[in-house]
Chain A
Amino acid sequence: MSDAESPTNPNLSPGAQTDDFEAVEVFSESTDMDLRPGADNCYKCTACDVSCPVAEVDDEFPGPKFQGPEQWRLKRKDDAAVDDSIMSCSNCMRCDDACPSGVPLSQMHNTARGEYVEEEMDKLSREYIRNRILANYGTLAQLGSMFPRLTNAIMGNSVVQQINEKVLGITAEREFPDFATQTFREWWNERGGPKVRSEEKRVAYFHGCYSNYNTPEVGKAMVRVFESFGYEVVVPKQRCSGTPMFANGMLEDAKRAAGINVENFSGLLNEGYDIIASCTSCSMSLRQEYPELFDIDGIKDVSKHTYEALEYLRIHEDLESEVRTSSVEDQAFAYHAPCHARNQGLDRQAVELFRELDGVEIEDVGDSCSGISGTYGWKEEKYDKSMQIGADMFDHMDHAQGDVGMTECPTCSMQMEHGTGYDIKHPLQLLEEAVV
C-alpha cells in the first residue's frame, strides 16, 4: 500500500498525530552550518537593506546586509555571539529577491537565528516560551480544534486577550482566528478521500495548518478544482511546513516537522505525484528552506517537485482559456501578493489570471509587505511596527475598487482583514467558483 492511500487511514485523525514526534530519532545531530563563504557574493550594494520592510520602520534593526553577509564574515568558528537583532527579522525573505548577486541571505538569517535561539536565548524567558508557542501554531491549533466552539469563545474573550498580552507577549490588538468546526482533514475523511483516480495526473496536497484548522474552505476548493481538471488528489499526513519555526529560530522543531513531511511526501514522487501547496509560505518552505537548512534523504526531490496550486495549473492546464470562457457574479478584489509568493515569482499570477474572468475586477494593491510576516505581527512588541509596515497596503486597499481582499497567504489575509475590515478570499476559492 502506498503512502498515497494513507489519508483514508482512520488512525490519522488529528489527535493521533502526536505519536509522530518519535520520528525525531531518525536524524543525526545537526551539522553546524558554515555560511561564511556565502559572504563572497556580497559586494555591499545595499539593495537588500533598501528592500527590507522592517529596517524601514525600525531604526534599531541593522538590516539584512548586517544580519547576513557582514555578520557571517565577522564570525570566527568558535565565536558564539549572534547579535540579538536577528530576532527582529520577520523572515519575509524580500532580501533574497532584492540581491543581485545571489547572497543566500535568508539562509544566513535562518541559520543565525537558529544559532542565537539555541545558544544564547534563555529557555525560560517569556520571549522564548511565547515564540515557541507561536512557532508551533500547528500543535496549538490541533488542541484548539478538538473543541473549536469553546476555544473560539475563550480566545475571543477580551480578558483572555489581555492575559495573553501581559503574560505571554502576544498582542491583544488582534482577534484570534476562529477554528473551523470541522477541519479539512475531518472533511476529507468523511468524504472518503479522493473522488478522482488517475495514473497520469496526480498531486499530493500539502494543506498546511491554516487550511486544515481555520480555513478548510480553501482546502476544499483546492481539491474540487484539481479534481475538476481530472487530477487524483491525495492528502498525506503532514506537519507544519516549518515557516513559523524558521522565523522564530526553532530549527529543531522545524527539522522534526520537515523530517516527517519529507518522509511522507518523498515516497509519492516516484509514483508520479507532484506536491501542491495552497499557502505560498508552505510552498516556499518546502522549495527553498528545506534544502537550504536540512540534510534529509529525499529533501531535494521534495523541493524540486513542490508547486503552489495556481502556479501548477497554469503550467499544466490551459487555465487562461478555461477562465476566459467562464463567468461569475460581479465582484471586485483588492489583491495583495505575499512576499513569499513574490520570491517564487508568483506575485502576478492571480491578477493575470482573474482579469480574464468575466464579472471580476481585480487590482494589485502594490508591492509592499503586509507587515504581519506570520508570527511577527502577533508579538506585542512588534505589533506597532507590523501595522506601520502594513500602512501602505491598507491605504492601497482603501483606494482599490474592490472591497473584498484576496491573497494566497493566511497571515497576510489576517493582516488585510485586521487593517481594513474586508473579507479576504484565497484565489482557489474564486477559481472554484469559476470552473467547478
Chain B
Amino acid sequence: MNKSPSVLVIGGGSTGTGIARDLAMRGLDVTLVEKGNLTHGTTGRMHGLLHSGGRYAVSDQASAKECIVENRVLRRIAGHCVEMTGGLFVQRPEDSDEYFEKKLAGCRECGIPAEVLSAEEAREIEPYLATDIKRAIKVPDGAVDPFRLCVSNAASAVEHGARVETHSEVTDVLVEDGEVVGVEVTHQSGTGPYVHGKPGEVEEIYADYVVNATGAWAGQIGDLAGVDVEVRPSKGVMTIMNTRQVDTVVNRCRPKGDADIIVPHETTCILGTTDEEVEDPEDYPEEGWEVDLMIETLSELVPMLEDARTIRSFWGVRPLYEPPGTGTEDPTDITREFFLLDHADRDDLPGMTSIVGGKLTTYRMMAEKISDHVCEKLDVEAECRTADEPLPGSEDFSVLRDYMEDFGLRSPIGRRSVQRLGSRADDVLNSIDPNPVVCECEAVTRAEIHDALDTAGTDLNSVRIQTRASMGNCQGAICCHRMANELAPEYDEDIVRSSLDDLYQERWKGERHAMWGEQLSQSALKHMLHATTMNRDEDPAASDDALDFAAFDDGNQSEGGSASDGSSGGAVADGGRVSTADDTGGADGDN
C-alpha cells in the first residue's frame, strides 16, 4: 500500500504542523507523521510565552525583530490561542541600570514598543510585584497556548487536504539511489481520524520530498538517513502554579539567567526556566532542586510565590543548533535563530531538508521559509497565505456573550469555553445535549470533550491538550474517569480502561514534582478517591491471576465455632485476630 504524496513532514509540533498547513494551502499533497500526539515533543513542553522580542533585544536582535513581526501576525491569525497580557521587564535594586538602558534601547532598535514604568506604575498593573522593585519596561509580550495552536494548524492542513498521522513513529528513512524517497513508519495504538494504521503495522510512505521538523529529535532522524544533524538538546524546567499571581508576563530585567520569567497561562502561571545541555532528549534527570530554584528566585519578583501552591512541574528540551565548528560552550549562548539544512547541499543527499533551532513565536515564519524552499525544489509556484488567513477558531469572534442564553452555561464556564474555542464556540457547545461540566477546575463541558474526541480517537491525553480537561488544580481527580466515560459506549471497556490509565498516569508524572503543601493533600485525596472507588490501588480486574474467592470469609462465622484446627479465633472488628487464653505467641509459620 504505497502512497505518493508530494511532501512528507516528520514532526507534529508547531513547526511541523505549520509547514503542513502552509504547503497544503499552497496546494501540495502533504502527509504529516508524528510519533506521539501533536505537540508531543518540545511544543507541548514550553512556557507558553508569545515573545514580543524583548527577551532577545540585547543579545540576539535578529531574533527579536522576527519575534515582534510574528507576534503581530499571531494576534491576527491565532486570536483564540493568544492572550495579549502585555509583559514587564522588572528591574530590582540589585539589577544593573546599564542593562536596563540597553534593554530599552534594544527594544526600540528592533521596533518593539517599549515604555518605562515607575515601580508604582508597575505595581498598579501587577499588585503582587515585590515592593522594592526599581522600575520596569512594558512590552507587548503575550501568552500563547501551544496545544491549541498546533491542533488548529493541523485542522487547517486537513481542511486543505493534508493527511495527519499521529502515533506513527518514523522507524526508517528510505533512501534509494542516493536520494531520500520516503519513510517507514510504525503505527502505534490509538484510534481516530489521525490514526489510520493498526498497532504494530509498518507502512512505507513515499514522497517527493521529506521535511525533518523533529526539533530536538532531528539528529535521530538524521541518523536514520545517514547524515549528521548536530542538535544540542537543552533542557529547561517549568513549574505550574495553581492560580494566576500575575496577569502580565513578568521578566527579570537582567542578562539571561535561570528562573527569570513568569507567564500567566490560562488559569495558571508558569515559572521558567533553566538551560542545561542534555545527551538524549527523552532521557534526562528531572530534579527537585530545579523546581526549588524556580520558586526561590522568582519570589524575588513576586514574593507570594514562596507560599503559593504549585500543581506540577515539567521539563522541555530546546532544539538548539549551531553550525559545526562554532563550539559554544554554554547552551545559553547558542543562538535562538533557526537553520534550514538542505541535505542535498550539505551532505549530498537530495530529497530531504531538516529544520532546527528557532522558537514557537516564529513558527509560522519558519514554516513559510521552509515551504518556499520545498516549493522551489519541487518547482511549484505558489504564494504563502498563512500570515493572512486565520486559523480555524480564530475567525472573528467575541467572548462577550450571554452564556446562559447562548449555551445554557454558567458565565465563567461559558466564558472560558469561548476563550478556548473562539469562533467554533457555537458549533461545538450546542452540539450535544445534555452538556454538563466534565472538568470543573478548567470549566470544560461534555460538548468540548466530544469535539476533541473527534480527532483524538481514544487518546485522552489528546483530549486533555485540546481542552485543558484534567489540567487544573485537582489534576484529574474529579474528571479523568468522567472523560473516559465519554468513550463509552462507542469503545469497549478494555479500551476505555487503558485510555483512562494512560491519562491518569500522565497526570502523576508531573504532579509528583509538587508533593508538598496543598498539592500533597490534593494528591492524597485523588489517590484515595480512585483507590477506594475504582480499585486504583490494586485492581483485581487488571490482574492475570484468577481471583481466589475462597480467601474471603463469608462474613457470617459464629465466634470460634467453625475454626477446624481450633488454634486460632476468628477475625475481630478492628481487623486483628482474637487471641486465645493459651496463645503462646511467636508461632507464625508453624504447621
Contact = CB atoms under 8 A, between A and B. Distances in A.
Interface in B423-463: 440-443
Given A36-B243, A79-B415, A85-B410, A70 B518 contact: no
B297 to A, nearest CB: 20
B341 interface: no
A395 to B, nearest CB: 33
A36 B244 contact: yes
Interface string B304-318: 100011000000000
A103 to B, nearest CB: 10
A101 B518 contact: yes
A40 B521 CA distance: 11
A81 B412 contact: yes
Nearest to A76: B247
A324 interface: no
A82 B441 contact: no
B59 interface: no
Interface in B219-261: 242-245, 247
A74 B247 contact: no
Given A36-B243, A44-B477, A70-B440, A75 B518 contact: no
Contact of A74 (B443, B477, B522, B525): B443
B521 A74 contact: no
B521 A101 contact: yes
A41 B242 CA distance: 10
B413 to A, nearest CB: 8
B416 interface: yes
Q: Which of B83, B309, B440 has the most CB of A within 10 A?
A: B440
Q: Which of A71, A83, A84 has the most CB of B within 10 A?
A: A83
B242 A74 contact: no
B242 A73 contact: yes
A326 to B, nearest CB: 46
Contacts of B472: 73
A76 B264 CA distance: 10
Secondary structure dominating the interface of B: loop
B473 A41 contact: no
A43 B244 CA distance: 17
A43 B521 contact: yes
Top-5 shortest CB links A-B:
A40-B309, A43-B522, A77-B247, A74-B412, A36-B243
A44 B522 contact: yes
Given A40-B308, A73-B473, A101-B521, A66 B247 contact: no
A62 interface: yes
Interface string B495-538: 00000000000000000000000100110010000000000000
B6 interface: no
27 contacts: A36-B244, A37-B243, A37-B245, A37-B308, A39-B242, A39-B243, A39-B473, A40-B242, A43-B474, A43-B518, A43-B521, A44-B440, A44-B441, A44-B478, A44-B525, A73-B242, A73-B267, A74-B267, A74-B413, A74-B415, A74-B443, A76-B247, A77-B247, A79-B415, A81-B403, A82-B412, A83-B411
Interface string B465-497: 000000011100110000000000000000000
Given A73-B267, A81-B411, A85-B410, 5 more contacts: A39-B243, A70-B441, A73-B472, A74-B415, A77-B244
Interface in B370-419: 403-404, 410-413, 415-416
| Residue of A34, A36, A74, A77 ringed by the most chain B CB atoms within 10 A | A74
Contacts of B245: 36-37
A319 interface: no
A326 B189 CA distance: 81
Contacts of A39: 242-243, 473
Contact of A82 (B411, B440, B478): B411
Contact of A45 (B440, B443, B525): B525
Interface string A27-65: 000000010110111111100000000000000001001
Given A34-B127, A73-B441, A76-B244, A41 B518 contact: yes
A44 B311 CA distance: 14
Nearest to A31: B127
A84 B474 contact: no
Contacts of B521: 43, 101
Nearest to A77: B247
Nearest to A39: B243
Contact of A37 (B267, B304, B411): B304
B296 to A, nearest CB: 18
A118 to B, nearest CB: 15
Contacts of B440: 44, 65-66, 70
Nearest to B243: A36
Interface string A372-394: 00000000000000000000000
A70 B441 CA distance: 6
Contact of B415 (A36, A45, A81): A81
Contacts of A34: 127
Interface string A92-105: 00000000010000
B411 A84 contact: yes
Contact of A73 (B243, B308, B477): B243
Nearest to A74: B412
A101 B473 CA distance: 14
A73 B247 CA distance: 12
A44 B404 CA distance: 25
Nearest to B525: A43
A66 B410 contact: yes
Nearest to B125: A77
Contacts of B442: 74
B474 A44 contact: yes
B247 A40 contact: no
B416 A74 contact: yes
Contact of A83 (B83, B410, B522): B410
A356 B411 CA distance: 53
Interface centre among A45, A75, A76, by most B CB within 10 Å?
A: A76
A41 B520 CA distance: 11
A44 B521 CA distance: 10
Nearest to B247: A77
Nearest to B521: A43
Nearest to B244: A36
A222 to B, nearest CB: 42
Nearest to A46: B478
Nearest to A78: B247
